[in-house]
Structure 1
Amino acid sequence: MAYKSILTVVSTEGHQRQLEAAIEITRREDAHLDVFCLGVDHSQTGYYYAGASAYVFQESIDKAMAAAEDLEASVRKRLGSEDIRWSVESAVAQVGGLTTLIGMRARFSDLVVLTRPYSENASPDAEAVTEAALFEGAAAVLIVPEGKLPADFGSRILIAWSQSEEAMTAVRRAMPLLKAAERVEIAVVDPSPHGPERSDPGGPLCQMLTRHGVKAEIAVLARTLPQISDIISHRATEIGANLIVMGAYGHSRFREAILGGTTRNMLGKTQLPILMAR
């Protein structure tokens, strides 16, 4: 299996570098790139005095439509000189309607390319778009920090293996990249001796990947730092990895939003591309 349908969602002109990353991956995979230009209406009509909401709502919709049209024109101009297969579509939605809008498009994509949803430069809608692709779209999502891919992207991959269903889904979705990699490390952090793999953490996964021709090996890591995300990031840097593969949101989104979690911490801190799925 290869990635043949790649989707990227842009909502601001600042997503130009994200588009460049999507173009690069599309060319590499000989795929079709779908670009979805999003105009978001952030109005909250319930907060206006009687009679004013209709005017404010229409003005906000008009602005969102104009922004989406301008963005689509810009993307079409950029893609016009490319030798890849591509299509561009634009739409307008209120914040509450993003889930269905993005989820339906992500559902029929092999890979969704986005930037980090938790950073200083992230758009206000980045979190909603990312979660819609993961949950409603059930898609593999490649998060590219600051919209830039390493020159040797995918040559060395670290799998953050937690023996969970989400991690297994991410591995399966990442198989085209894993098979093409020069080296893949299955990193298991402080595994429980009573877990499903017991005394052989990562062993069954390594066997499965090896049978697919993946050059895989296992590293069992002690919990030397307070957060799992810090251990994973440190190990990725240590081995020179240029892609991390991991399951997303093993806990509920609400819990991670309030208490934090590995997914949220990784998306907020790491400078490496991450392929996530659940």
Structure 2
Amino acid sequence: MIPEGGEQMPIKTILNVMAATTIDGDLLVATDLSRQAGAHLSALVVAVAPQPTGRYATLSQGWLEQREQNLQDLDECAKRVREKLARSELSSDVDSLYVEAAGANFEIGERALYADLVLIGPSVFQDRDMKQQVVDGCLFQTGRPLLIAPPDSTPTLQPKTVLLAWDSRPSSAHAAQQALELMINADSVHVTMVDPNAALRASGEEPGADVATYLARHGINVTVDTLPSAGRSVAQVLQQHAVDVAANVIVMGAYGHSRLRELIVGGVTRSMLEDARLPVLMGR
């Protein structure tokens, strides 16, 4: 069942977190999505301080010079972003962040508090460390929905077909709520379950029926697809089914199991974060 108390909200502010070394591709995706939604774009350009080596590394001249150069490069990058956004005529703001590696997620999380959607563009998707900082700051600190746009994908906030990955867990329910407006405006939504447990305290006697009824009450055209894993991972089944039904985006809950278990043994969230080929909207 969908829990009480959540709200679907129109997207009015998009936070785009970019690494200072690669901004162009991510900024292009962000501006396109902002135009689609008529949303304000908040661009956050992040540079991570170099890790000191040795006991007195932070006092060395070389480390200080490197830090100063990084700060200059970050300022130049933020200036470029401001100039590009000024030409786009979008409502926007730009901020830069120079931070130690261990603290980036907290800073990103603070800014995500004031956004309706956080974007991981194609360049950050390929930067494993930066990607994890955004995921931690967005999903775990603020609970904001996270749109992941892998390279060579076509992200949109006006999808015609949505695949909702469903496992009857609260994280899936929260993701469904956060994507409700997208699904209402879509032509069709495929509620997709992989090896569901047809039990009262699991997926119910008729897996997917409850969430399909909930979505149908919002006028959503729903199809329930129950699929066998057949030796494949859940992430592989979901991605292939998304291709089969021509889905524009996969909506899913993040870390349905404990995060520690996901990190140790893997899981759907981890697989999607590493190998997604289509845009993925994650909620938690």
User: What is the match of residue 130 of structure 1?
Assistant: 135
Inter-partner Cα distance in structure 2 for 1:26 and 1:137: 21
Matches within 5 A, 1:24-173: 24-44=32-52, 47-50=53-56, 52-55=57-60, 57-115=63-121, 121-122=126-127, 124-146=129-151, 148-149=153-154, 154-173=159-178
Q: Does 1:15 align with 2:23?
A: yes
Structure 2 unaligned segments of length 5 or more: list them: 1-8
Q: Does 1:185 align with 2:190?
A: yes
Q: Deviations over 1:114-148 (max 9, x none)?
A: 036996x4264222222221111211000000274
User: What SS class does the counterpart of residue 14 from structure 1 fall into?
Assistant: coil
Q: Could you tell me how far apart the structure 2 residues matched to 1:82 and 1:155 are?
A: 26
In structure 1, what is the equivalent of residue 238 of structure 2?
232
- The CA distance in 1 between the partners of 2:124 and 2:214, in whole Å, is 34
Q: Which amino acid aligns with 1:66?
A: Q
Query: Cα–Cα, structure 1 residues 28 and 189, in superposed 2: closer, same or farther, change >3 Å?
Result: same
CA distance in 1, matches of 2:167, 2:44: 33
Distance 2:129 2:248 in 1: 27
Paired residues, what number? 274
RMSD: 2.1
Q: 1:2 aligns with which of 1, 10, 16?
A: 10
Q: Which residue of 2 aligns with 1:277?
A: 283
What amino acid is aligned across from residue 186 of structure 1 in structure 2? V
Q: Could you tell me the percent identity over the aligned residues? A: 29
User: What code does the residue aligned with 2:115 have?
Assistant: S
Q: Match of 2:34, SS?
A: helix
Structure-2-length-normalised TM-score: 0.89
SS of residue matched to 1:199? coil
Q: Give the distance between the partners of 2:48 and 2:157, measured in 1 at CA.
A: 35
Q: CA deviation at 1:27?
A: 0.9
Match of 1:203 among 187, 200, 209: 209
Stretch deviating more after TM superposition (84-93 or 14-23):
14-23
Tell me, what secondary structure is at the counterpart of 1:149? coil
Instruction: Report the Cα offset of residue 83 of structure 1.
Output: 2.9
SS of aligned partner of 2:264? helix
Report the alpha carbon displacement of residue 230 of structure 1 after superposing the two structures with TM: 0.8
Note if contact 1:103-1:132 (Cα within 8 Å) is conserved in structure 2.
yes
CA spacing shift, 1:109–1:232, aligned 2, 3 Å: same
Q: Cα deviation per residue 1:14-42 (whole Å; 9 max; x = unaligned)?
A: 23222111111111111111001112103
Mean CA deviation greater in 54-63 or 90-99: 54-63
